[in-house]
Structure 1
C-alpha cells in the first residue's frame, strides 16, 4: 500500500502526468455525458412508440447496447428507434473499444508502470555502510573497475541520474543509486562523509562541478577524477581533486612505451615493493632462437624471467621455451639488476628509422610526444587537415591522407619503420590497418589501441603484437590508487594482482597446489616475511601467511577466487 501511494505521489508531481490524467478524466466525463444523453433519448423514443420503461431500464439498455452485448430483451419497433440503436452501438464501439482503452493505457497505465520502474531503483545506501567507493557514471571504465572492486570485496555504488536506466541497472545486479552527481542531496544519500573515495568519470566541466560539491560536503574524502583534456588537470586539482587522471594522454604514453626502436632496452611496466617489473623485445638481437635456460639471466644478472609475451598471449616462463622474433620476455628484479640487463641489451642496435603513428588525436599526439622525448624520429599520418598544424609540434613529419592508401604508408616510411602505433578510436579501422601493415611489412612491431575489450582477440589475430584499451588503463589506474600501489599495465585483458595464500594451500608446493591447472593464472612471485621470491620453482612451498603475485585474465582471476575461496 505504501509503495502504491509512493507511485501515485510520483505521478502527481510530474506536470506531464498530471496533464495526461486530466485528459483521461475529461474523456470519462464525455463518456458519462453520452450515457446520460442516450438514456434520456431512449425514454423519449420509447414514449413515441407507446412503450413504458423505468429509468434504470433505460440505463441498462444504453450500457448493453454501447458495450455490444445486445441481449435483445428491450428493442425498438420503429425505424427511428432502430436508427437510434445503430448510433448508440457505433458510439459504444468507438468509445469503449477504441478511445477509452487507448487513453487508459496512454494516460494512466503506461505512466503508472514507468513510475513503478523508476521507483524500483535505490535512492540511498544503508545507514551502516562505510568505506565504500562511489562512481559517478556507468561507462567502460566503470565496468572494468567494478569487476576489480568486486573481486577485491570492496563495496561500491554507481550513480545514475535517469531513474529508468537506474532501474534496469538494478535489475542487472549493478549496485546503483539514482541521483544527479551535481546535486548535494545525492551525496548525502550515498553517505559521502562515510565513503572511502569518489571516482568522477564524467566530462571535464561536470567533473569540476562534482569535485567542488563533494569537497564542500566531505573535505577529507579522496576524489579521483578523469580528465579528457590535459589542460583540465590543473583546474580539477585546484577544485579539490586528490588525483587527476588524463587517461587518453596516459594511453598514448603507454602505447609509446611498448615500441622497440633505437637500441634494445627494458621497458618498465611498474614496480612491486622494491622490485621493478619490465619487458624487452628480442627482435633483431642474438637472443632469438635461444631458450630461457640458455639465457641464464638469473645466474648472470639476478634477473628472473616470469613470463613471455607471444603475440598477445602471456605464457609462463619455462626453461625450454624458445624465443622467437616476436617474443617479449617479462622480467622482475631490483633497479640495479634491471640496469645491468640494459647494459647487456644496449649493444644491440635494432632500428633507428622513423616510427609511424597512425591517427593524430589526443592519444596519437601523446604517443608521438612521448617517443620524441626519447630522442626518436616520429611520422604521423592524419586525414583531418584541421589537425595538421597542431601535430607539427608533436612529430618530425605529418603526412596528410588516409592510412588505407598504400602510397601514403610508403611515403611515411612503413616499409622501413621498426614499429607502428595505431591510435584511432575505431576498432574496425585498427583491425583493418593491422592486417594491412602486417602484410606490407611482416617484420613490423604493431602496437594498437582498442576501444572495446570484446575486440581484443580480433586485433591479436589480425597480427598486433601489443594491444591496450582505454577502459582497462582507466580502471587499472583508479584501482592502483585505491590499493596505494604504482600503476602496472601488462596489456589489455591481462591483470597483475596480489592475493594471500589460501588456507587450503598453505604448506603445499606450487606443483601440488595446481593453481595453474585449476584456474589458469600464473604465479610470478611469492612473498614471505617481507622477502620476495620471483619466478618460484614447482617445488616451492607456499607459506601460511605469505602473498602471491599472480598474472592472469579477469576470467582466470575469477576462477581462482572461486576455486580457492
Structure 2
C-alpha cells in the first residue's frame, strides 16, 4: 500500500508540474472525447434519422462540429434528440478549443517561443576574456576594453539578465546563459583557451569557481572581492590577482586630497607606478602623471596657470585640472589655482619632484587635518593613506575602532561633526556604504565648512551628480574604479593605462615595437585623433612634442583620447 501511494504521488506531482505531461493528457482526453462522440453519433444517427452512416462520416461530422466548421452536409435533422446531440458536440468543442487551449497551451507556447539566451558561443575562441557574473564593475570593464580587439564572453546565470546583457552588448561581447559552477558552461565559454578569466561574485562562490577552472586553463584568473582580507585564500585556491575596488577607492580618495611622496603603488596593477612620486624617483627621467591638490597657503595658491609657468620653468605640462567639482580638459592659462583645485602634472619624475618641492610642498603649509566619515574598507584605506602623508585624521563612525582619534556616532549628526572639529579641517573624506548618507553628510560638511575639500564615495552611477551638487569636490564611483583596475591588468600586454578620466577619455602609454617605423607625432595625431602628451625613450624624454617630431622604435608614446581614438592610435604605431 505505501508503495502504491508513493507511485500515485509521483504521477500526481508530474501532472502538476510538467507542462508537457499536462498537454499530453489534454490531447489524450480530446482524442478520447472525439472517439466517444463518434461512437455515440454512429450508433444513434441511424435510429434517430432513419439513415445509414459510415464510421468515417460519423468521425468527420464530429470533428467538423467540435471545430465549429460544420458544412451542413447531413442537414436537415428531423429529430430533436439529434439536434441536442449536435449542440452538445459543438459546445464540447468550443470549451476544449477556445477555453482549455488558451489556459493550458498558451503559457507553454509562450515559454517555448520566448527568446532564449545562447548556451555557447557561435564559434571557438582563443585568447579571449571570460567574465563570470555581470554587475556595474563588469560594465565598466567592458568599456575599458573598448580600446582593444579582445573578444569577450560574459557568463550570466539569470536568464532575464542574460537576455538584457546580450541586447546591450550585442556588438561587443558574447553572452552565455549557464550555471556558474557547471563545467559544461565553462567549456561553452572556452575557458581552457582564455587569456583572462574575471570572476565578479561573492568570495565563497568565487573560491569554488577558481578551484574548478584552475586546472582547466592556463589563463590568468582575476578575482574581484569585497574585502581584501580574503586575498591569501583566493590566491591559494589559484587566483593570479585578487582585487578589492573598495581598497582602491579609498586610496584614490586620499590621493585626491593630498600628495603622498612616500606612496607605494600597488605592484600588481600596471601603470599605477606612473601616478606616484617617491624619493627614489628624483633623479629619474621617466614620465609621470601626478595629481596635485592645492592646499591653501602654498606657493602656488592664488596664481593663474600662466603665472605659474610650469612648462617654461620646469618642463611640466598641465593637461587637465579639477576645479570645484568640475573636470576641465586642456585648461586655459587664465585658470586660477586655489583650494578647490587639483592639477594633473605631466613631466619627468625629477622635474615633477622639483616643482612639488618648490610650488606645492605640503610641508611648507599649515598643519593639515582631515575628517574621515566611515571606517569600513574604503575609509580605512583612505585613513592609512592620509596618515602616511602626515595628515592628522579624525574618524567618524558608529562603531568603535582601535585608532588614535575617533568620534563615535552618526556622520549625519551635526553635533558629531562638530565634535570631530570639521570646521577646522582642510579635508573631508565621505566613505560610508550608503549613498543617501553620503549625500547628506556632504551637504552638512559643505555648510559647516565652506572652504573644506570634500572627497566622496559613490556606489551607484545615479548618485555621482547628486554628490557634486551637494558640494563634493571629487566623487569616486566604486564600481567604475573596480572595472578600470581590471582593465589595466587585461590590457597590459597591449598598452599601459595611466589614467581614466571622468569625461570618458583615457591616458595611455604605448611602446613602439615596429622596426623601421617612419612616422611623426603629427601623423599619428591626424590618423587617430588622439592627443600626444609625451615621448619616453632610453636616450630622450620629450613633454608636449612638436608635430614634426619623429617617432622611433623603442619609444614609449603617451596619448590621451576616447576609446575609438586610442584604438586607432594603437593600430597606427
SS of the residue aligned with 1:271? Answer: helix
For residues 78-132 of structure 1, give each alpha carbon's deviation from its aligned partner in whole angstroms, at most 9, with x where no partner exists: 444433333323222211111024322233x234325xx43x61515744x4322
Cα distance in structure 2, aligned partners of 1:425 and 1:177:
32
SS of the residue aligned with 2:18? Answer: helix
Which residue in 2 is equivalent to 1:142? 138
Which residue in 1 is equivalent to 2:427? 419
Which residue in 2 is equivalent to 1:3? none
| 1:224 corresponds to 2:222 | yes
Q: 1:395, CA displacement in angstroms?
A: 6.3
Cα distance in structure 2, aligned partners of 1:151 and 1:160:
24
Which residue in 1 is equivalent to 2:449? 441
Cα distance in structure 2, aligned partners of 1:123 and 1:528:
45
Gaps of at least 5 residues in structure 2 are 1-13, 266-271, 276-284
| 1:498 corresponds to 2:497 | no
SS of the residue aligned with 1:241? Answer: coil
Relative to structure 1, the CA distance from residue 20 to residue 92 in structure 2 (aligned partners, 3 Å threshold; closer, same or farther) is same
Q: Using CA pairs under 8 Å that are at least 6 residues apart, name the structure with larger relative contact order, 1 or 2.
A: 2
Cα distance in structure 1, aligned partners of 2:51 and 2:154:
71
Which residue in 2 is equivalent to 1:324? 338
SS of the residue aligned with 2:424? Answer: coil
TM-score (norm 2): 0.79
Cα distance in structure 2, aligned partners of 1:467 and 1:197:
30
Q: Is the 8 A contact 1:225 1:243 kept in 2?
A: yes
SS of the residue aligned with 2:105? Answer: helix
SS of the residue aligned with 2:227? Answer: coil
Relative to structure 1, the CA distance from residue 53 to residue 229 in structure 2 (aligned partners, 3 Å threshold; closer, same or farther) is farther
| 1:308 corresponds to 2:308 | no
Q: How does 1:46-125 map to 2 (within 5 A)?
A: 46-54=45-53, 55-73=55-73, 74-107=75-108, 109-114=109-114, 117-118=115-116, 121-124=118-121
| 1:379 corresponds to 2:394 | yes
Cα distance in structure 2, aligned partners of 1:349 and 1:41:
106
Relative to structure 1, the CA distance from residue 67 to residue 186 in structure 2 (aligned partners, 3 Å threshold; closer, same or farther) is closer
Relative to structure 1, the CA distance from residue 557 to residue 124 in structure 2 (aligned partners, 3 Å threshold; closer, same or farther) is closer
Q: 1:496, CA displacement in angstroms?
A: 1.8
Q: 1:235, CA displacement in angstroms?
A: 0.4
TM-score (norm 1): 0.80
The one of 531, 543, 557 aligned to 2:551? 543
Deviates more, 1:416-425 or 1:45-54: 45-54
Relative to structure 1, the CA distance from residue 436 to residue 155 in structure 2 (aligned partners, 3 Å threshold; closer, same or farther) is same
Relative to structure 1, the CA distance from residue 498 to residue 339 in structure 2 (aligned partners, 3 Å threshold; closer, same or farther) is closer
Which residue in 1 is equivalent to 2:362? 346
Q: Is the 8 A contact 2:439 2:467 kept in 1?
A: yes
Cα distance in structure 2, aligned partners of 1:222 and 1:448:
33
Q: How does 1:454-465 map to 2 (within 5 A)?
A: 455-465=463-473
For residues 349-394 of structure 1, give each alpha carbon's deviation from its aligned partner in whole angstroms, at most 9, with x where no partner exists: 24534x2223343322332343344443333444xx5xx13xx225
Which residue in 2 is equivalent to 1:11? none
| 1:292 corresponds to 2:299 | no
Which residue in 1 is equivalent to 2:268? none
Q: Is the 8 A contact 1:476 1:489 kept in 2?
A: no
SS of the residue aligned with 1:217? Answer: coil
For residues 118-156 of structure 1, give each alpha carbon's deviation from its aligned partner in whole angstroms, at most 9, with x where no partner exists: 3x61515744x4322222222222222222223122233
SS of the residue aligned with 1:87? Answer: helix
Q: Is the 8 A contact 1:39 1:59 kept in 2?
A: yes
Gaps of at least 5 residues in structure 1 are 1-14
Which residue in 2 is equivalent to 1:208? 207
Q: Is the 8 A contact 1:379 1:399 kept in 2?
A: no
Cα distance in structure 2, aligned partners of 1:426 and 1:491:
24
Q: 1:445, CA displacement in angstroms?
A: 0.8
For residues 519-562 of structure 1, give each alpha carbon's deviation from its aligned partner in whole angstroms, at most 9, with x where no partner exists: 5x65432346763322446x66463766542335xxx3335647
Relative to structure 1, the CA distance from residue 275 to residue 59 in structure 2 (aligned partners, 3 Å threshold; closer, same or farther) is same
Aligned residues: 528
| 1:282 corresponds to 2:279 | no
SS of the residue aligned with 2:467? Answer: helix
Cα distance in structure 1, aligned partners of 2:76 and 2:273:
93
Query: Aligned Cα RMSD in Å?
Result: 3.8
Cα distance in structure 2, aligned partners of 1:394 and 1:38:
88
Q: 1:24, CA displacement in angstroms?
A: 0.7
Cα distance in structure 2, aligned partners of 1:535 and 1:457:
33
Deviates more, 1:440-449 or 1:77-86: 77-86
Q: 1:318, CA displacement in angstroms?
A: 4.4
Cα distance in structure 2, aligned partners of 1:401 and 1:560:
45
Q: Is the 8 A contact 1:447 1:465 kept in 2?
A: yes
Cα distance in structure 1, aligned partners of 2:563 and 2:239:
31
Relative to structure 1, the CA distance from residue 293 to residue 447 in structure 2 (aligned partners, 3 Å threshold; closer, same or farther) is same
Cα distance in structure 2, aligned partners of 1:249 and 1:276:
23
Cα distance in structure 2, aligned partners of 1:287 and 1:267:
26
Which residue in 2 is equivalent to 1:365? 380
Cα distance in structure 2, aligned partners of 1:208 and 1:267:
28
Cα distance in structure 2, aligned partners of 1:474 and 1:276:
22
Deviates more, 1:358-367 or 1:240-249: 358-367
Relative to structure 1, the CA distance from residue 204 to residue 489 in structure 2 (aligned partners, 3 Å threshold; closer, same or farther) is farther
The one of 130, 148, 154 aligned to 1:152? 148
Cα distance in structure 2, aligned partners of 1:431 and 1:198:
35
Cα distance in structure 2, aligned partners of 1:302 and 1:250:
30
